[in-house]
Structure 1
């Protein structure tokens, strides 16, 4: 289908897609992914029944069949309204016009990093300093106040993207600073920005503390003044989630959200569940659920008892969209199809691995697209030499209590003699989704659960899940481990 998308008077784009999503929410997600949009969207279409005047789109059945003109813009609201349209705007604006950091981040710093504009007097000093540097190489003598102003502004700009930047992020930003303002280079430093890096690191710590004291939930959770000094690991977004720990929506309180959670549990016990009602309740209680999951780190069984709707297939997909603003299944399947032949090529180059060889031979019997997707996913742990396998094969005749023994995370392949009859997703030795028709869908749902329940990738499969997330689903792909980065480069170089 052909789409003509009007973003502004000067930005009108032509998009071709294979098929339209079934719902308006699905269309919003698709437009966000393809056009790089953020926030809650308003989508209007040219209605032929009203001489092509624009009307708000409320149902996909309203659209013409073959080609359509859409007008799209973002409302940038501050609360959650639907399962798949989220406020992921990274900046709001104060009355003075200066940017205020939001709790929604892209989690990945842009490359190259855009150094912000400083206060007028600092910009004036830098302008003169840069002129002197270009004239005779003179470096600017930076006063304490000027340095503090520079670091404050850069810390705010970094926080917009990530509250906990990595060592590589600090390198990136510090280098960008001296590239833009060479008069700030450090004499005697090989890189010219070594001390800026460490000053910036300390400034970010102070900036986080200020926001923590102001009540920012994503930072307050890691406060050591709450009577839990040195407790556990740092609780932060580790999978490039853009809505990791959101604030309670305006007009809501924790008790009122608890009432909605109880209402959701009651609805899930009914013989005929109102899924539209569940959708609304799960969306409005998202902040309460994330607070419980991130702060308390409860076992899967406890989460399942308090949030039974989360363990339905449709709500796992919706929760993944709330967390990442990305469609769960579409992102995985699109990535698989993009790299399918390249993956099979690199697998064939490693035919010495018995497990890969065995998987590739199955394509001689069934070379369908679905089977090729499954082979790519099944082959990842073997190719990457991870310490565990993603799946376990059991027979229908085996004792069911033995199926999941010792299985913390993975997929069961249930076979009747030599024929696979179904797949099941397992977490903490418990079957979550017992009857899935194909392996790629099972992997997608497993990824959705790991994100929704804030479960770290198991050590023995960390490279496998990193490839699935960062290469196939393209979530946080800008920062990869050396092993995954090498594989990604090889895939991109591989000829089809």
Structure 2
């Protein structure tokens, strides 16, 4: 089916979907992948029964047979409601005020080439006309090329300060597609030199912003050209390392931190006040965590509120503009049926067989979520024994946490699970959690908040949780995860 997608007044795209899914949710998933969108979508279609006025799409049967015009936009993150609403009330304004705030760490697909200076646009128009007439290529001056590269660098930076090799390819190809007169003579593809010029320009552009005071770029100044790893957003954080609020110095924010620590020591904590303090000191906290890379115990000592459930959710929202639990649980429910079908097709794997048998005794939606998460490492052929553990209530904490950098532990008493705990750096960080889905959601929140890498032995498991189930940064996946997502969207295995 041919679809004309209106994302904004200046962003209208044409895509083709061979086989339309049966449900709106599956349709949304396909659109997110093809358009590079994140979050919940609202889809409207031009209804011929009302003179092609827009109406919300409530059933796939409402779409015309061959082609349709749709308007698609994402719901605001403010529409989420959780028990941490008070803590995140001031989040949206603080994100908008931050110079480093962007809506995504991915470049849109296809990349929207910006409008250049008036004289450049005039030359490009004439050049494109000549190219379409007789194939003549435009002879561009040094100043004109510099103007084009400057504009492209600015447009790229608004999405990702550190684009990947594939993203540079996409931008160069989009430039040549829109302005074919800029093709390189003698080049097979016509855009290779543009790609390398653009990478060089982005380096210069980052240097200018680093000198101007950008926190995220300044922290990498010493790492550039050395063996040190760049401190960049790796999990599609949209507010990775913000600058201090205007008019605030480090001492001012540290005063707020000390007030928060004092409040947390009280017998009855004012969580609304703590939430405001945590929001106000977000920039200082990220500076410490990203630049100094402290141990979890040190962070807990300086920022005790960060390890409360409501502040884990609030911090995750500050970093990603996404509701932590709502995002994961919605993704689990969306893909639950298909995942279990895929698991049954691989039931020869011992771990999956045992988990699927447990559904005979408990087929509740909650238990299915648990089976999906526990079965994911088995399905992806990754080693989970050091991550998911089951221990007895009589076992000492030092015994089951030894050597455990990141993990979730289920505590049994008489055959029943009586507790679920989250472990980081050989210490129990969260306990008294009800179940595996909740524990995994909070663990994801902690890994983001503390800037901790995913366990290497569960690389694909966590990539699926982030990019498929939570749909954060899903536009760029490893081949294995991309293939899995395609299988999830098919009607049959």
Q: Taking structure 1 as the reference length, what is the TM-score of the superposition?
A: 0.81
Q: Which residue of 2 aligns with 1:129?
A: 127
For residues 143-196 of structure 1, what are the alpha-carbon distances to aligned partners after superposition, in whole Å with 9 as ceiling and x for unaligned? 211111100000000000000000111011111000000011112222221111
Correspondences of 1:150-299 after superposition (within 5 Å): 150-224=148-222, 230=226, 232-299=228-295
Shift of 1:108: 0.9
392, 406, 409: which one aligns with 1:409:
406
- The CA RMSD over aligned residues, in Å, is 2.4
Q: Which residue of 1 aligns with 2:394?
A: 397
Q: Which residue of 1 aligns with 2:371?
A: 375
Take 2:436 and 2:55, find their aligned partners in 1: how far apart are those partners?
36
Take 1:104 and 1:376, find their aligned partners in 2: how far apart are those partners?
32
Take 2:424 and 2:307, find their aligned partners in 1: how far apart are those partners?
12
Stretch moving more, 315-324 or 247-256? 247-256
Q: 1:341 to 1:175 in 2, by over 3 A?
A: same
For residues 237-274 of structure 1, what are the alpha-carbon distances to aligned partners after superposition, in whole Å with 9 as ceiling and x for unaligned? 11111110111112322101101100100111111111
392, 398, 416: which one aligns with 1:419:
416
Q: Contact 2:343–2:379 at 8 Å: present in 1 too?
A: yes
443, 449, 467: which one aligns with 1:470:
467
Take 1:288 and 1:250, find their aligned partners in 2: how far apart are those partners?
13
425, 429, 432: which one aligns with 2:429:
432
375, 379, 388: which one aligns with 2:384:
388
Q: Which residue of 2 aligns with 1:28?
A: none
338, 342, 347: which one aligns with 1:346:
342
For residues 423-481 of structure 1, what are the alpha-carbon distances to aligned partners after superposition, in whole Å with 9 as ceiling and x for unaligned? 00111111111110111000000000000000111111111111001100111100001
Q: Contact 1:392–1:411 at 8 Å: present in 2 too?
A: yes
Shift of 1:369: 0.4
Where 1:298 maps in the other structure, the secondary structure is coil
Q: Contact 1:105–1:162 at 8 Å: present in 2 too?
A: no
Shift of 1:218: 0.7
- Unaligned 5+ segments in structure 1 are 6-10, 17-32, 42-59, 61-79, 93-100
Shift of 1:121: 1.1
Q: Contact 2:91–2:279 at 8 Å: present in 1 too?
A: no
Aligned length: 422
Shift of 1:34: 7.7
Name which structure has the greater RCO, CA cutoff 8 Å, separation 6+.
2
Take 1:12 and 1:393, find their aligned partners in 2: how far apart are those partners?
53
Where 1:161 maps in the other structure, the secondary structure is coil
Q: Contact 1:103–1:218 at 8 Å: present in 2 too?
A: no
- Unaligned 5+ segments in structure 2 are 1-41, 43-52, 59-71, 80-84
Q: Contact 2:102–2:239 at 8 Å: present in 1 too?
A: yes
Shift of 1:83: 5.2
Q: Contact 1:221–1:235 at 8 Å: present in 2 too?
A: yes
